[in-house]
Amino acid sequence: MKLFTTRSLAATTLLLALSGCERDEPTSYLIPKEERSVSMPGATAPAASSQAPTMPTQAPTTAPGGMQVLPGMQEAANQAGEIRYTVPEGWEELAPSGIRKANLKVTDANGSAELTVLVFPGDVGGRLANINRWRGQIGLEASTPDDLPAFTEGYQISQHRGLYVRLVGEQQSILGGLLPFHGNTWFFKFLGDNSTVLANESNMKAFLDSVQIQDTHH
């Protein structure tokens, strides 16, 4: 007898608790750069798959702390391990933030360039897609797999096989390192005015040589 009333009470409570559990709240999160758009069919005007406007590259704004990131991005950044490196002479070190593992800056008479280190889970679409994303950032056309040897070479980063990328654009250039590392991909991107970037190529390589990623897998 008693048993039944307790149970039915529990069931009713559960029901009420479940029905009140959905609350809408403002949120914020990071997503990979959007390069395409699909309009919902049924909209009034004919759907045009337009390129989402790409903004001119500017000095990155710091992502606020405590930002909720696309599922898996922040966790991966947290779990990817810490990174140690030597700051090249004349470069200044800025504070890392959010999913950015390191952030360095160099300024000379001809302009400035910034080095960012990011880590994402998985291969983030693969080598070619990421290199083409970088090419787009400095106004270069997308390239095909056959073109890659012209501006990439194998490069050891933190005792693992990575890739060194050299992209020279009209005004801006990128020297970069791509490193698949235990299920994540690390991006070392040195972007800025052509002459500053190219004058610092030996510094960039010295930086990559100095990188040590905490390796919990060996």
Partner 1 sequence: MKSLFQFFSSLKLTVVLLAFSMMLIFFGTLDQVQYGIWHTQQLYFESFIAVWAYPEQAAGYDQLFWLRIPMPGGYLLGGLLFINLLAAHFTRFKMTWQKSGIFLGHFGLILLLVSELMTDLLSKESQMPVDEGGRSNYSQSHRANELVLIDRSHPDYDSVHAIPASLLKPGKPIEVPNTPLSIRTVSYYPNATIGRATNGAPTESPATRGAAVKMGIVVTPQPVGYADNDINTATAYVEVFQGEESLGTWLVSNVIDERFPPQMVEAGNSKWEIALRFQRQYYPFEIELIDFSHDKYPGTEIPYNYSSEVKIHHQDSTKNQKALIYMNHPLRYEGLTFYQASFANQDRTSIFQVVRNPGWLLPYISVLLMGLGMCVQFGMHFVKFLRKRQ
Of 85, 91, 120, 188, which one interacts with partner 1 (CB under 8 A)? Answer: 120
92-94/172-181 β-pairing: unpaired
Contact characters 155-194, partner 1, x per CB under 8 A = ----------------------------x---x-x-x---
Could you tell me the smallest distance in angstroms from the CB atom of residue 110 to partner 1?
21
Q: Tell me whether residue 113 is exposed, middle or buried, using C-beta atoms within 10 angstroms of its C-beta: 0 to 12, 13 to 18, 19 or more.
A: buried
Structure tokens at 42: 């049924």
Task: Single out the segment in contact with partner 1 by CB under 8 A; choices: 30-38, 103-111, 161-169, 195-203.
Answer: 30-38
Give the nearer residue to partner 1 in terms of CB position, either 90 or 126: 126
Smallest Cα–Cα separation from 164: which of 179, 153, 149? 153
Task: Single out the segment in contact with partner 1 by CB under 8 A; choices: 60-68, 88-96, 140-148, 204-212.
Answer: 60-68
* Residue 3 lies near partner 1 (rule: CB under 8 A): yes
Let me know: does 105 contact 112? Beta carbons within 8 Å.
Answer: yes
> Which SS3 state, helix, strand or coil, does residue 104 take?
strand
Give the nearer residue to partner 1 in terms of CB position, either 11 or 142: 11
Give the nearer residue to partner 1 in terms of CB position, either 70 or 209: 70
| Order of strands across the sheet that contains 100-108 | 92-94, 100-108, 111-121, 184-193, 172-181, 160-168, 152-157
> Which SS3 state, helix, strand or coil, does residue 53 take?
coil
Task: Single out the segment in contact with partner 1 by CB under 8 A; choices: 25-33, 83-91, 103-111, 159-167.
Answer: 25-33
Start-to-end C-alpha separation, the chain: 61
Query: Where on the chain is the footprint of partner 1 (CB under 8 A)?
Result: 1, 3-4, 7-8, 11, 15, 18-19, 21-22, 24-34, 36-45, 47-50, 52-55, 57-58, 60-61, 63-64, 66-67, 70-73, 116, 118, 120-126, 137, 183, 187, 189, 191
